[in-house]
Amino acid sequence: MKIEQDIKLDFQDVLIRPKRSTLNSRSEVDLIREIYFKNSKRTWKGIPILTSNMDTVGTFEMYNTLSKQQIITCFHKHYDLEDYPFGLDPNYYMLSTGITENDWLKIQLLIKKLNPYFVCIDVANGYMSSLMDFVKKLRKKYPSITIVCGNVVSREMVEELIINGGVDIVKIGIGNGSVCTTRIQTGVGMPQLSAVLECADAAHGVGGYIISDGGIIIPGDLGKAFGAGADFIMMGSMFAGHDESAGEIVEENGQQFKLYYGMSSDTAMNKYAGGVAKYRSSEGKTVKVKYKGPVEDTINNLLGGLRSTCTYIGAHRIKDIPKCTTFMRVNNQVNNLFK
- Predicted pLDDT at 282: 65
- Active-site position among 74, 120, 180, 310: 180
Q: Is residue 338 part of a domain?
A: no
* Range(s) of the domain holding residue 91: 11-248+295-329
Stretch 257-277: mean pLDDT: 72
Stretch 232-258: mean pLDDT: 91
Q: Sign of torsion, CA 149 153 157 162?
A: positive
Written as one string, the DSSP assignment of 114-167 is H--SEEEEE-S-TT-HHHHHHHHHHHHH-TTSEEEEEEE-SHHHHHHHHHTT--
Confidence class for position 275, pLDDT limits 50, 70, 90: low
Q: Is residue 260 part of a domain?
A: no
How many domains is the chain built from? 1
Nearest alpha-carbon partner for 121 in 165, 174, 176, 90: 165
Provide the CATH number for the domain around residue 318. 3.20.20.70
Q: Is residue 306 part of a domain?
A: yes
Q: Is residue 71 part of a domain?
A: yes
199 in active site = no
In the chain, the amino acid numbered 229 is: G
Q: Is residue 223 part of a domain?
A: yes
Q: Is residue 27 part of a domain?
A: yes
Confidence class for position 269, pLDDT limits 50, 70, 90: low
Which of the two residues, 260 and 110, has the higher pLDDT score? 110
- Predicted pLDDT at 34: 98
Q: Is residue 129 part of a domain?
A: yes
Q: Is residue 41 part of a domain?
A: yes
